[in-house]
Structure 1
Amino acid sequence: MQTYGLAGSALQRNVRLNERTGYSCTPTRSASLPSWRVLRACATHAAVVVVAALEVSLRLPPDAPVSAVACSALACAVLLARDSYPRATLLATMPGMVLGWSQLATVIALGHVAYRTSAPHRAYAAPALVVLAAVPAWLVTPGFDGGWRERVLGTGTSILLAAGAYAIGRLAVQCRAWRERAGEAAELQEQDRQAHQRSARHEERARLAREMHDVVAHDITLITMQANVLESAPTLEAARESGFVIHQLSSRTLNELRSVISMLRDNSAEQPRRHRLDELAELAETIGVPVHMQPTTPPERVPEDVSTAIYRTVQESLINVRKHAPGATATVRLGSDHDSVWVEIRNSPATAPARKVPSGGYGLAGLAERAMQLDGTFHARSIDDGGFEVTALYPLRR
């Protein structure tokens, strides 16, 4: 019972400390166990030390002096610090190479220095130092039983091992750089893909906004204006005429709105109807603005998207005349040459105050976007007599 009470008191203290500090004092399973990265690093260090010690044990003679054995053991042991102190580890293994039998430990340390050093000219010093230490050890060390042939072979072997360790370390550096560049390239490619998707979504939203504005907003604006006329109709006949126009515009708006909704729901649905240049006169009559048409000889074949852009330009301009310049007259000029077609809409100043009609201000911006998509130009400006002028030019070939 006393043990249970002590454990319960400790648990209560931990809970109160957790509430005050926001940190957990109770050990969890994930915190008590080392991660797989730590286990892998420990296994790698142990394997390196074991391999280096195995090389020493195979080369160690029975009558080896204690100093040589100590230097060899030190060379194997300091390999545990090669990640944190690569240059110091290399220097610590060199006595074992010169005085003992731990040549592999020096090779491992040299390769690690080459891998850890980013600048190649700084890494050259490590193999040069190893060679400078190995050559005198083989050539001028007294008490060596072998002849000059064995000394030369030992020197050449040391040089080849140093060069090989350095080459492997630098190759690992290049592989690491290649992986980083590949990761950066993949990241840039992903960023480009996302930017392309955002651009595509933006263009699609802009296209849908233009379609909704061109197909629906214009007719709704005309319906609003006809409703204003209906309110102030002087006779019953004029009211009936305005009501008939509102009915026609409402029916047409409903049909076109259904076509836009069908296009949004199903890409294979019928696209909104394209307009031809010979429909401009009917358009002017529908809007109800006195228009003087000055067409020249149009080209025989005008692309559908170009003819629709011209139709929308005239439509937006005439509706703006009716909204913002009551009583004004408009002139529509249509012309072409061998590689382009252009349209100009100019209106006179207003003769009556304009009624306030809701407007989003997207009409002219949509016309400019449409002209840009067709590689054309669009300009809108006020003119000196108080009127307004809209000009658009579209190429016939792209």
Structure 2
Amino acid sequence: MPAGEPEAAVDSTERRPIGAAAGWLRREADVSRAALRAASRRTVAVDASLSALTAVLGLLPLLLVHPQHPVVAVLEALWAALLVAVRRGRPVAAVLGAAPLVMGGNVWTLPVIALVVLSATRRIAPPRRAWRVVGAACAVLGALTVAVGLFRWEHLPMDLADNAISAALLLLLPALSGTLLGRRRPLTGLLRERNAYLEQTRTLTAEAARLEERTRIAGEMHDLLGHRLSLISVHAGALELAAARQAPPLVGQAELLRTTAGTAMEELREILGVLRRAEPADAMDPTDGNGNQGTSERGTREDITALVTQSRQAGGGPVELDWSVPDTAEVGARARQAIHRVVREGLTNVLRHASGAPTRVEVRSTGAGIEVGVTNGPPREAGRSQGGTHSGLAGLHERVSLLGGTFGAGPLPDGGFRVAARLPTDAIRSVSGPLAKTSAGPLPPPRGAHAPLSTEVLTWPRVLGAGCASVLVVLPTAGFLVVVLLAALR
């Protein structure tokens, strides 16, 4: 056997513990970095601030009250600041690391010991494990006391008694308070889960009730309006054929009546489809059940031009269209639907209350969104209009408000009337593209139903009990710290 082999074996044996320790330190550093990245900025900022405050409060008094061992006192203050920083991610290590500070000479770190133990034991589950960790910390404190007492046997009994009292006040009582608060955490989580379940159940129940009511309304509209509109469409077709033979000048009016009745039937089918769907977002689907084009073409330049043309044919007087929205602009389906409704309602009001008055339709793009307006002059025959119920304007106001826009309608000083709406950019781009759909948000609570109780209200009795018990437990600790700190200042 070569002479160098035993030495090499000895060197490899000595390097194994060093390599294992280095590997453990690297793993701990990687875990700590990962936990730091996963933590929120607020948590990191709070822990950093508390650590800095602990270091300051532990070092500044040393300038006024000079300890016997300044270097040790400074190291104790820095160690306490480190324990504050690791109490969340390493609660067991924080409790064990607080034991040496109990017998330290820097009394300004004693409050930190109690707070670190209380905060750390809250995060150790189950409580039996927390008490085992606290017991290990007391054992470490006892071993350190005995080790230091070997050099001065005459003071060992007194040191053991003092450290036993300190352990009871700084380790055991804060640990009891922390475990009391820690038992509240599973209860809070359970009640929070129950509250979320009840809220979800309430939302689903309200949604089912709404869907049932909407289905009933759809059935009533189909049975009543559908039959009447079908009759109007049939008779309008017969009237068009008769006018073509007997009164050719009236063919255009008869054709407009027939096409209007057909359009009303199509819109009624769309409304019935919307009412029967569970999600309002489905109403933005550009195709109906048969694959035909639906509401996606509403609010385009061609659609508004067709509305203006129909208004002229119906005897609405001169109607001008001012369209300044670029063709490349992305306008969502809901915004286009709102544009169509505003223009159609405005032109309809002109035909009813100011027939023959000059009208101007404006659809223009601004930096903040799209502005839509229908302005008519004074009616040719004064006193013809009897006023209306304003239900159409109220519906427009609600539709525009849901998109986050503004709506206004009112008379003008010259006797005319103006209907205007402004749609913000967010509403315009919220649903872009022919196949885009909106996501339904949380449903508001139904009328007459109370919102579910908050988690704080549900857990208040248990929180109050745990809080009072924990406060009563740490009262002796607080008194002890006050006495010690006042004695150190003298």
TM-score by length of 1: 0.43
Greater relative contact order (Cα < 8 A, sep 6+)? 2
TM-score by length of 2: 0.36
